[in-house]
């Protein structure tokens, strides 16, 4: 992977990622990054969000790594379950941070149209980062999603929803998980060669 140019696609969740959010910091920091901009951040429609992710991946001339947060993780899973092989092949891997459990009791109404959550393994390498006190998904549900998707799973203690409200602004520590994902991608590529 180090020999090819990679496009980092930032996939925000509900309400987008404000300027102080780690995803916005990463967008400003990571070379060759782009952001998936949804038309409606407040009342998301699954079909629209999946279609926008599809368009951005299709428009990329380079292989991509997806960096998703919350509802963005669920969007990635829905997209991967229906995307054509030629686009799936462009995705080298996905960092899935604090996936939102849209099937949970008390899930906000605007997110419910993203249920049910796909159970199929993702056709690319992935690392799922969850937290043991995330209000958007219990630790058990985050682990279940990670297992379904075939992700390497990392559970952080006391990290909340890994967003601005839980004190994650630049989240420089998160780059270690991105590097971990990139190492997994390289190992996978060597095994396939």
Instruction: Quote the CA–CA distance of 121 and 191 in Å, as a whole number.
Output: 19
Q: What does pTM read for this prediction?
A: 0.95
Q: Kindly write down the DSSP assignment for every residue of 71-113, as one continuous string.
A: HHHHHHHHHHHH--HHHHTTEEEEEEES---TTSTT--GGGGG
pLDDT at 1 over 60: no
Provide the number of structural domains found in the chain. 1
Query: 3-12, 57-66, 110-119: lowest mean pLDDT where?
Result: 3-12
In a domain, 84, yes or no: yes
In a domain, 2, yes or no: no
In a domain, 111, yes or no: yes
Q: Which domain holds residue 152?
A: 7-192
CATH number of the domain within which 29 lies:
3.40.50.1820
- Length, in residues, of the chain: 193
**C-alpha dist (Å) from residue 59 to 39, 53, 166:** 17, 10, 34
Mean pLDDT of 102-112: 97
In a domain, 32, yes or no: yes
In a domain, 1, yes or no: no
Q: Which among 92, 126, 85 is positioned nearest to 3, based on CA atoms? A: 92
In a domain, 82, yes or no: yes
Question: Binning pLDDT at 50, 70 and 90, where does residue 184 land?
Answer: confident
Question: Binning pLDDT at 50, 70 and 90, where does residue 187 land?
Answer: confident
């Amino acid at each position: 992977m180090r020999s090819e140019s990679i496009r980092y696609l930032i996939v925000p969740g509900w309400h987008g990622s404000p300027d102080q959010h780690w995803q916005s910091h990463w967008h400003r920091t990571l070379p060759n990054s782009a952001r998936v901009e949804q038309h409606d951040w407040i009342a998301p429609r699954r079909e629209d969000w999946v279609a926008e992710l599809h368009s951005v991946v299709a428009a990329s001339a380079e292989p991509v790594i997806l960096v998703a947060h919350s509802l963005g993780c669920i969007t990635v899973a829905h997209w991967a379950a229906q995307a054509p092989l030629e686009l799936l092949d462009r995705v080298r891997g996905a960092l899935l941070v604090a996936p939102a459990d849209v099937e949970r009791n008390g899930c906000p109404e605007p997110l419910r149209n993203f249920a049910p959550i796909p159970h199929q393994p993702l056709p690319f390498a992935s690392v799922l980062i969850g937290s043991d006190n995330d209000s958007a998904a219990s630790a058990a549900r985050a682990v279940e999603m990670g297992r379904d998707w075939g992700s390497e799973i990392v559970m952080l203690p006391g990290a909340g929803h890994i967003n601005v409200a839980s004190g994650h602004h630049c989240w420089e520590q998160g780059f270690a998980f991105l590097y971990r994902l990139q190492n997994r991608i390289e190992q996978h590529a060597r095994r396939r060669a």
